[in-house]
Amino acid sequence: MAAVGGNTAGPGDAVVNVYINQEKRFAFVEMRTVEEASNAMALDGIVYEGVAVRVRRPSDYNPSMAATLGPSQPSAHLNLAAIGLIPGATGGADGPDRIFVGGLPYYLTEEQIIDLLSSFGPLRAFDLVKDRDTGTSKGYAFCIYQDSAVMDIACAALNGLKMGDRTLTVRRASASGQPKPDQANILVQAQQQIAIQKLVLASSGNSTSMGNLGFPGSGMISGMPASAMPNMLSAVSTFASTEIPTRIVCLSKVVSPDELRDDTAYEEISEDMREECGKYGNLTNLIIPRPSPNREVPGMGMVFVEYTDAHGATKAKTSLHGRKFGSNTVIATYYPEEKFIHGDYGG
């Protein structure tokens, strides 16, 4: 703690109490302040007497309550390089924004998994769960993105993908590490979007550069069977080429022209859409093109929803896609902001 600059409460030892269970090989360490306890989380993975030490919160740790007492994440200014650790690369994957990544092939290294997950944005924390005795991967991990807005995009793109003989399970995780049931419906609907937007990619060999797919901060993923690559690249490329988030969500196949001709029905539909779409973020505007007897109106049967930020739009898109609105099954896509601003609803 002293070497990395984690002792922020002044001179002296940050550790005030230690309980060691020799038989089960774990210890509880009490720090003198909440801030120093959070800084200690950054020491996850430090090598002590030839063993990489896992640093975790206690099982009864409550992130929401802890956040009211002080910082719940390590300081960004810690000098982890002084003890051979890389800031943000591994460890500390606790908190309400963490993602559970299951079904990982056992042969994938930490670097390969981080490389894959980082295709959607830089990670703030990563933890590959390993067997305590052998040090080999148990096939699941946890991670947290620096930008929480990409969480649902990453989950939707990777969940259900075949990698060799295994299938990835990627979704938000609760503080206990178990997937949240209330997220399942959202991610299933988002996964349907991938199925609709199938993209066939030719792939050969056992390695590929993720940088070719247009994602930042990505490198090589090697040692992966060729049979696993097309499935992974298909979904990742779909999001790279067609799933650039905007503040505008276009809902297709929602209403028919006949429904929109009646003023009363139009007002009811507008109110229903405002109420439903308002559950996912702050609405700025909602446009439902109506038929005209004198001209052809672009965007008929579509609903255009504008949010104050892309995060609200992402939640709406993943939640509404595949839903039933009356007898219609909704298709939700992002819509270019420039076209929306200029009143171009031509799709």
Full DSSP string of 249-311 = EEEESS--HHHHHSHHHHHHHHHHHHHHHTTSS-EEEEE-----SSSPPTTTT-EEEEESSHH
Bigger pLDDT: 48 vs 95: 48
Quickly state the pLDDT bin for 216 (edges 50, 70, 90).
Answer: very low
Helix (H, G, I), strand (E, B) or coil at 58: coil
Does residue 280 surpass a pLDDT of 80? yes
Q: What is the reported pLDDT for 174? A: 53
- Token duo for residue 137: 């991967």
Taking every pair of C-alpha atoms in the chain, what is the biggest distance, in angstroms?
84
Q: What is the reported pLDDT for 94? A: 60
Bigger pLDDT: 230 vs 243: 243
Quickly state the pLDDT bin for 326 (edges 50, 70, 90).
Answer: low
Does residue 90 surpass a pLDDT of 50? no
Does residue 200 surpass a pLDDT of 80? no
Quickly state the pLDDT bin for 264 (edges 50, 70, 90).
Answer: confident
66 within 8 A of 35, measured Cβ to Cβ: no
pLDDT tens profile 290-308: 888 777 888 888 899 999 9
| DSSP strand pairing (99-102 vs 137-145) | antiparallel
Average pLDDT value for residue range 175-204: 40
Q: What is the reported pLDDT for 271? A: 87
47 burial type by CB count under 10 A (0-12 exposed, 13-18 middle, 19+ buried): exposed
Q: What is the reported pLDDT for 295? A: 78
Q: What is the reported pLDDT for 34? A: 92
Number of H helices, E strands in the chain: 10, 18
Query: What Å distances lie between residue 74 and 67, 102, 239, 285, 304, CA to CA?
Result: 12, 26, 31, 39, 41
- Token duo for residue 26: 């774990």
Average pLDDT value for residue range 137-142: 88
- Token duo for residue 13: 């030892």
pTM across the whole model: 0.35
Does residue 29 surpass a pLDDT of 90? yes
pLDDT, averaged across the chain: 75
Q: Which of 37-41, 167-171, 217-221, 309-313 has the lowest mean pLDDT?
A: 217-221
Q: What is the reported pLDDT for 95? A: 62
99 within 8 A of 144, measured Cβ to Cβ: yes
Q: What is the reported pLDDT for 7? A: 93
Neighbours of 271 (CB within 10 A): 11
